[in-house]
Structure formats: structure tokens, C-alpha cells
Amino acid sequence: MTHRARLLGRGDENQFIDAPRLRFRRALLLWLMTLVVPGSAQLKVGRRWVGAIGVTVWLALVGGVVALWWRARSDRAGVINFLTAADTITYLRIGIAVIAVGWLALFVDAWRLAGPRRLNWPRAVVVAVLNLAIIAGVAGSAAYASRLLQVTDESIEQVFPEDAPTSAPLEGRYNILLIGSDSGPERTGIRPDSLTVASIDTTTGATVLVSLPRNLQNVPFPEDSPMHQVYPNGYNCGTTCLINAVHTAAAGRTDLYPDSKDPGLDATMDAVTGATGLKINYYLMVNLKGFRTLINALGGVEIDVKTRIAMFGHDDSWKNTWIEPGLQTLDGQQALWYARSRVQSDDYTRMGRQKCLLAAMADQLDPTTVVTRAVAIAKSGRDLLSGNMPRKELGQFADLALKSRGQKIQSVSLVPPLVDVQNPNYELIRSSIKTIIKRSERRAEKSATSAPTPDTTPDSGKASPKPSSSASVDPFSLSQEERDKLLQRTANNSRDVAASC
């Protein structure tokens, strides 16, 4: 028996791998084993207790991920709640740091076991570069993941406060008030720029958007609302008593809302309930100026711009900057103007553009974008959103959002000619909204049992009588600008918002 064979019999691998090519292959193998199954390299060369710890931790992590995936198949909301809980995020950050340090130690140990000083210098350089690259990658990824979790936790707490009270769904639906705030140093109060109720089916996630124009008048308050004591006949003090002024009128009225942090906001929700007949469960406040941060974080949003949109107000027309028609990718600033511009436009056309923008964002917010831009998106959430949904309900709403993907969003807006904003028929409005929601529920039930059929017919939102509207006019009898406005307005009342845009 040769000396080499005797060494093999004793299992001492380090002493018989003398050929440079074999030593190089062994170094690459140890590196690859540590990358794929941490600890396996140590098991191979006889450092069993170190390898056993590494492999056991790795198997536990894989097992945990598989268990969560399996649980999510039947309880996706519960898994989301668990992963987004404040304690879980804290433990995850600690765990990532510990695992990263342990993994880095295993790479360094595998490098040492490979005997880099026994390699010729070209092969030693290759092994060194590979190990340094993976070490830098692991350290960088761990730091990124920890930072992402921290920012996500802060953003979640702002939108989903830990101590917020829960609100049970009514008749199988959650009604979420989306408020676009237009606050600023020159403005008194928040003065909501847009008010939209997202009525969501708790089973299917099917969503109906009900938009209220900011100049809606004579809004009634429910009888159990404190504002009903002040305005028993509705908010009817003339052209200054618009629905977007309710917040300012009730701001600071702790005598009416003694337990409220923002009486004006609670009064606004009461006004929306009175107008639509939909009891509001929660609200989401969208800071329109912070909106551009989110768009930029997403890398822009692609929009089919129907007509020129002014990027200036009535008082600064000298800027003469426009968003030109056509299929374009808008950055944050352009998207903000697309949603808000009223030059050569009006509130109702603008409402249609806002819905088109929301539909485009929902369609283009794919998993790849979320992963690659996660930190920027999470940061933008702190500037963009605030709300009163309890954190323990986050999983429920995330699950509903996932269910709603791919479903058509039905839309109705309380705008002329469907609604006379100066003297609205609120009984007819509430009845029509109920009809639209029932139709949405029937469509969701039908789509669950059969393939959906295309349906892009604009819907007036009224049960009867069917009003005459500009949508019945031959569009080719109109000017280009009038036609573009007409097409944009169809998004206000449509069975499929995305198709109308």
C-alpha cells in the first residue's frame, strides 16, 4: 500500500490533496457547499460540531419558510399578520443579524480549510475574490433587509396604528374612505382635495369606488352624528358649505367629538356616510404632495394621456409647461399634475383622471417592482399615507387586496349630469349605490364559477330613471378637447375603470 493510500485509509484529506488542480477544486467545492447549505463544508472535512450547528439552523429556516407557505394556503391573512407584527419584525431583524454573522464565519472558516496559501497565486486570487464577493454580498443583503424591515415597521405603524380600534364589516363589506389631502401653509384646515369610498366585499375582494366631488352641497349627517345637532337639515349654509369644507368647520370641535384626535376628520366621515349611506369603517389619508414620492419610487407610471394637461395653476400660467397627449411614463411631478390639474379642465374631469391613475398604478405594481424598489416604496409610505386601520387588521386587508387583483373595479361618481351637486337627491344617490354594489357582488359570484366576459359599458350608477348625459352624444360631433374630456369622464361611471381609461 502506498503512502497516499495509507493516508486515504486514515481519512485525512488535507494531507493527500497535493495537486494544484485538486486543491483548487476542493476550495471551490467548499465555497459552493457553504453557499448552498451552510455548515456542510465543515461536515465534509471533519469539523462536525460546527457543521452540525450550521446545517441544523439552515434546515430549521427552510422548514419555517415551508411551514409558513403551507399555512398561507389556508390562512394567508393570518400569516401576513404574523409577519407584519411589531414583535415579529424586531425578532426578524435580530435573527438576520445573527444568521448573517454566523454565515460569514462559516465562509471564513471554509476559506481557511481550503488552505489558500497552498494554492498557486492565480487560483488563490480566484478563490479570494469569490469569497470576498460572497461575504460582501451577505453583509450587504443583511444590512439591506434590516433597513427594509425598520422602514416597513415605521410605515406600517403610521398607516396601521397599534392601538386603533377595530370596526366590524357591515353587510359583508368594508367601506374605506380614501382622502386626498390638499393641506398647505396658505390653506385653512385640510380641505380634502378628493373623497372616494372603496367598498370592498369581505369574501371576494370585489371593489366599488364611489367618488364624491369636493363641491357637493347640502350634505346630510346621520342622526347619530354630533354634526347633526349643529346642522339638522344638512350642511346647507350656501356655496361655502361644500363637503370638502366640513373638516374645517368641525376642526377643534372637541365639544362635539370629545374622544377624537381629529374632530374635522370624524365629521368628514359622518358627512360621507350621510351622502352615500355607507358606514365608514376606516380612512386612509393620502398626502398628494407625498404622492409624487411613491410614483418616483415605482419608477414612474405609464398612462395614456388623452389631452394636454397643464402643469401649472391659474395664477402661474406663465410657466406654460404641459403633459402632452399619448402613451407616456409619468414621473412623480407629472403624475401629481395629471391627477390635480384643473386648467382648461374641471373637478369632474379631474376625478376621472385620478381614477385612471389609480387603476394604472394597481395594474403596474408587480412583485418585481415591489422587491427591487422595496426600501424606496416603504419610505414613500411614511410621507404619503396615514390612517386608522388597526395593525392586527393589516393581514385581512392585504389578503383582500390580493384577491381583488385581476378583478374589474366598478366606479360611480356623484357628478353632473348624474347628480346635481347644488341640490342633490340623496335618497336616490343612496339607493343607486346599493344597486351598484349588489350588481358588483353578483358579478363577483358569477366570475368565481365561470370565466368572466368583457364588460366595459359605462354605467350611470342610477337604478331609474336613466338620465340623459353627454355620454349619449356622438363623440365625433365634438371637438378634440371635448371628446377627450368625455372619454376621461367615462372613468367616473364605469363597470371597468381600467378599460375606460
Q: Which residues of the chain have pLDDT under 70?
A: 1-19, 116-117, 182-191, 288-290, 314-318, 365-383, 406, 444, 447-500
The C-alpha cell that represents 341 in the structure block: 390639474
* Residue at 28: amino acid letter: L
Q: Which of 300, 382, 322, 336 is nearest to 193 (CA)?
A: 336
DSSP summary character for residue 215: T
Which residues belong to CATH 3.40.630.190 in the chain?
A: 173-500
Q: What is the architecture of the domain spanning 173-500? A: 3-Layer(aba) Sandwich (3.40)
Q: What pLDDT does residue 2 have? A: 46
Q: What pLDDT does residue 489 have? A: 52
Dist. CA 61–CA 68, nearest whole Å: 11
Instruction: Kindly report the number of other CB atoms within 10 A of residue 209's CB atom.
Output: 21
* Helix, strand or coil, per DSSP, at residue 242: strand
| Interacting residues of 194 by C-beta distance below 8 A, sequence separation 6+ | 178, 179, 180, 211, 214, 351, 354
Q: Give the chain's largest Cα–Cα span.
A: 108
Q: What pLDDT does residue 462 have? A: 38
Q: What pLDDT does residue 404 have? A: 76
Q: Which residue(s) pair with 195 in the sheet? A: 179, 212
The C-alpha cell that represents 123 in the structure block: 487560483
Size of the chain in residues:
501
Q: What pLDDT does residue 19 have? A: 66
- Cβ burial, residue 235 (10 Å; 0-12/13-18/19+): buried
Contacts of range 21-28, beta carbons closer than 8 Å, 24 or more positions apart: 23/114, 23/115, 23/118, 23/119, 23/123, 24/119, 24/123, 24/126, 24/127, 26/114, 27/111, 27/114, 27/115, 27/116, 27/119, 27/123, 27/127, 28/127, 28/130
Dist. CA 351–CA 338, nearest whole Å: 10
| Alpha helix segments (H runs only) across 341-393 | 347-364, 367-372, 374-384
Cβ atoms of 410 and 459 within 8 Å: the answer is yes
Contacts of range 120-123, beta carbons closer than 8 Å, 24 or more positions apart: 120/20, 123/20, 123/23, 123/24, 123/27
Going 13 to 17 to 21 to 22, the CA torsion angle's sign is negative
Q: What pLDDT does residue 464 have? A: 35
Dist. CA 215–CA 428, nearest whole Å: 18
